[in-house]
Amino acid sequence: MSNSASEDPGLDEAPILHIDLDAFFASVEVLDDPSLVGRPVIVGGSGPRGVVAACTYEARMFGVHSAMPSSVARRKCPDAVFLDGRFHRYTEESRRLHGILGSFTPLVEGISLDEAFLDVTGGVHLFGHGTRIGEAIRDRVCREMSLPCSVGVGRSKLMAKLASKAAKPRASRTGIEPGPGVVEVRAADELAFLHPLPVRALWGIGPVTERRLLALGVTTVGDLAELPPDALERYLGAATGRHLAELSRGVDDRPVVPEQAAKSIGHEET
């Protein structure tokens, strides 16, 4: 794994990027109201069934996270600023993001308002290798949108998305640790990066599947990779077992499918 663009890894190393705006909804609110800078801000429903859609890292220091019931978030961080979502603003900023991304490659697949995959294979000769493109995108997002952004670079969607998560800041009770901003997972480092991760890091593993795997003693992606694929297929079903067996070994050949806009707003996860 590398945070540096000083070495050219070659075209086959990093054709896929995952771009993710950090704490997007909350970051837009702070952008529009500078008095919120440095404060715990929580965006989401305020009613009895409301949930957190996004929160600043200052709120995360208190254990608040997306998809948490707003009532729980209020108990954890009573001094937070609670705001209703303004989806028209988030859509405006998402369009600006996609305009920037489209200037680097036409192969942009939006997967939510605040994140997208890019296949930059065709832009390497013009912009440099994948990590340099990621740094250039992050710089433009910062300059033109004034929003924080994390970029993951890898040979597949799986690796790029996991790398972007590793590029993000981290909040704990003791403070906020800045992230590197851009992280690349090179081919030779894929399994060393992937296998120590908790098994829930893989696509397709929700709470139910995670509990079933924990019952087998599987806690990390590496544990999962040690199970025979046919045993996984019997235990989880043919399609799910085969899919997870491949992902646990770093196999993900899904292409970037260009779209005009993000599919849906969904719930922000990061």
Question: Per-residue DSSP letters for 112-159?
Answer: ETTEEEEE-GGGHHHH-SHHHHHHHHHHHHHHHH---EEEEEESSHHH
- When pLDDT is averaged across residues 35-48 and rounded to a whole number, the result is 94
Give the pLDDT of residue 125: 74
The pair of three-digit structure tokens given for residue 251, joined into one six-digit string: 């196999």
Give the pLDDT of residue 2: 60
- When pLDDT is averaged across residues 33-55 and rounded to a whole number, the result is 95
Q: Which of 13, 29, 93, 115 is catalytic?
A: 115
Which residue do the tokens 């998402």 mark?
A: 94
Q: Domain ranges for the chain, please list them.
A: 16-22+88-188, 25-84, 195-248
Residue 204 confidence (pLDDT) above 90: no
**Phi/psi of residue 36, each to 5°?**
-90, -5
- When pLDDT is averaged across residues 64-85 and rounded to a whole number, the result is 97
Give the pLDDT of residue 155: 95
Residue 262 confidence (pLDDT) above 60: no
CATH of domain 16-22+88-188: 3.30.70.270
Q: What angle do CA 29, 167, 106 make, to 5 degrees?
A: 80
Between 13 and 30, where is the model more confident? 30
CATH class of 25-84: alpha beta
Active site (annotated) includes residue 144: no
Give the pLDDT of residue 265: 44
pTM: 0.89
The pair of three-digit structure tokens given for residue 35, joined into one six-digit string: 């008095």
Q: Are 221 and 195 in contact (CB under 8 A)?
A: yes
- When pLDDT is averaged across residues 164-190 and rounded to a whole number, the result is 97
CB neighbourhood size of 154 (10 A) = 30
d(CA 110, CA 32): 24
- Average pLDDT score over the chain: 91
195-248 belongs to CATH 1.10.150.20: yes
- Contacting residues for 231 by C-beta, under 8 A, at least 6 apart: 241
Residue 123 confidence (pLDDT) above 70: yes
The set of long-range contacts for 121-130, using a CB threshold of 8 Å and a minimum separation of 24, is 121/11, 121/15, 124/11, 124/15, 128/5, 128/8, 129/5, 129/8, 129/9, 129/10, 129/11, 129/13, 129/14, 130/9, 130/13, 130/14, 130/15, 130/16, 130/17, 130/184
